[in-house]
Amino acid sequence: MATDRRPDDMVRITTPELADAFIAGQIKEIREQVGDKKVLLALSGGVDSSVVAALLIKAVGDQLVCVHVNHGLLRKGEPEQVIKVFRDEMKANLIYVDATDRFLDKLAGVTDPETKRKIIGGEFIEVFAEEARKLDGIEFLAQGTIWPDILESEAGIKAHHNAGGLPEDMKFELVEPVKILFKDEVRVVGERLGLPANMVYRQPFPGPGLGVRCPGAITRDRLEAVRESDAILREEFARNGLEGKVWQYFTVVPDFKSTGVKDGKRTFDWPCIIRAINTTDVMEVTVEHLSNELIDHLVERIIKEVPGINRVLFDYTPKPPATVEYE
C-alpha cells in the first residue's frame, strides 16, 4: 500500500542520498500498486508531472502512457523539450497532441478572464479524455499531487482536483508518487532522476499558460508577440545569472496600440510589459529591480525582434495591490 501521509518525523529530502532512498522506496511501491497494468499521465512538462513521469518510467517502463497536450499557450520550446527529454532520451511511451487550433478557435473573441480559464481547463480535459478513450487497458492515472496540495485541500483553500476532473465514466485508481513531498524535495528527486536542471528548477507557470498574458481576446499574432518576448526575457535572464534567482518573470502584451516611429515611418503597435518578481508565499510579492543596462538591452532586443511591438514597459508594482498575473 502506498504511503498516504507525510510522516511527522520525515527528514526533508535535501541531498542526493536522501533522494535516492526515496526513489528506491517509490519504485517498489509503484510496482506493488500497478503490477503489470497500464498507467496514464497528463505530462505538461511542469516540475511535478515531469518528476512523476521520470519515476514511473523507472518503475514500470512502457506500462506508462504519457499524454502531452499542447494547448498552443505554452512557452517557446516547451513542447519540443518534453518530446526530446521523455520520448527521445527516456524512451517514454509519449502521445503528443497538438491541439493549438482547437483551443485558439474556442478562445477566439473571448475577453472575460474567468471564461478564458474555464475554456482552457475544460478543453484540456476533453482532449485528454479523448486520448484516454483511444487506449485499451488503462487502470491507473498518475498525478503530480504534492504535499502542499493535500494540506491546502484539507484546509479548504484549494479543491484537490482528484482524477483531474475527468468525466464520471472514466474511473482510474490514482498513482501519486510525490504526494508526501514539498516542492523543493520534488526538485531534488527530479535532478537525481536525470531531468534537466532547467526543467526541474523552472519558474512557476500558470496552467492557462500564455493565455493570461495576452489579456482580453487572444489573437494568434499577439500571442506570438507574448511568446517571442518571453523567450527573449528568459534568454537574457539566463545569460545575466538571474535564472533560478528571480522567482518569476514574464512578459504581457496588452490589447491596445500606440503610435511610434520606425525607419522614418509611423507605426501603430502594442506595448510589451516586463514583470519580474520575488516572493516566498505568493500572497505578497516584491519587484526585482533590473540594471539599467539590462533594461536597455531588453528594450532594444524586443523592439527589434518581436513583430508588432513598439514600446517596452517595466511593471514596478508589488502585490498587493497588483496580482502577479494581469488577469
Q: Which is nearer to ligand XMP, 100 or 278 (CB)?
A: 278
Of 78, 50, 74, 204, which Cα lies nearest the Cα of 142? 50
Least distance in Å: CB of 277 to ligand XMP? 9
- Give the total of residues touching ligand XMP (CB under 6 A): 11
CA pair distance 18, 189, nearest whole angstrom = 9
282 near ligand XMP (CB under 6 A)? yes
Least distance in Å: CB of 294 to ligand XMP? 22
207 near ligand XMP (CB under 6 A)? yes
Least distance in Å: CB of 325 to ligand XMP? 4
**Stretch 228-267 residues interacting with ligand XMP (CB under 6 A):** 248
Helix (H) / strand (E) element for 38: namely strand 38-42
Whether 183 and 9 have beta carbons less than 8 Å apart is answered as: no
Residue 98: beta bridge partners?
70
Whether 174 and 138 have beta carbons less than 8 Å apart is answered as: no
Q: Which is nearer to ligand XMP, 3 or 111 (CB)?
A: 111
Q: Which stretch, 2-10, 232-240, 307-315, 316-324, contacts ligand XMP (CB under 6 A)?
A: 316-324
208 near ligand XMP (CB under 6 A)? yes
Of 111, 128, 140, which Cα lies nearest the Cα of 70? 128
- Written as one string, the DSSP assignment of 215-247 is -SS--HHHHHHHHHHHHHHHHHHHHTT-TTTSS
Q: Which stretch, 64-72, 92-100, 103-111, 199-207, contacts ligand XMP (CB under 6 A)?
A: 199-207
| Ramachandran assignment for 110, one of left (phi > 0), alpha (psi -120 to 50 degrees), beta (any other) | beta
148 near ligand XMP (CB under 6 A)? no
Among 2, 138, 294, 324, binds ligand XMP (CB under 6 A): 324
Of 254, 149, 279, which Cα lies nearest the Cα of 203? 279
**Stretch 115-134 residues interacting with ligand XMP (CB under 6 A):** 117
State the cell numbers at 1.
500500500
Least distance in Å: CB of 69 to ligand XMP? 15
Least distance in Å: CB of 215 to ligand XMP? 12
Among 111, 198, 317, 323, binds ligand XMP (CB under 6 A): 323
Among 206, 260, 271, 318, binds ligand XMP (CB under 6 A): 206
Phi first, then psi, for residue 259 (nearest 5°) are: -80, 155
Question: Which positions touch ligand XMP (CB under 6 A)?
Answer: 117, 204, 206-208, 248, 282, 319, 323-325
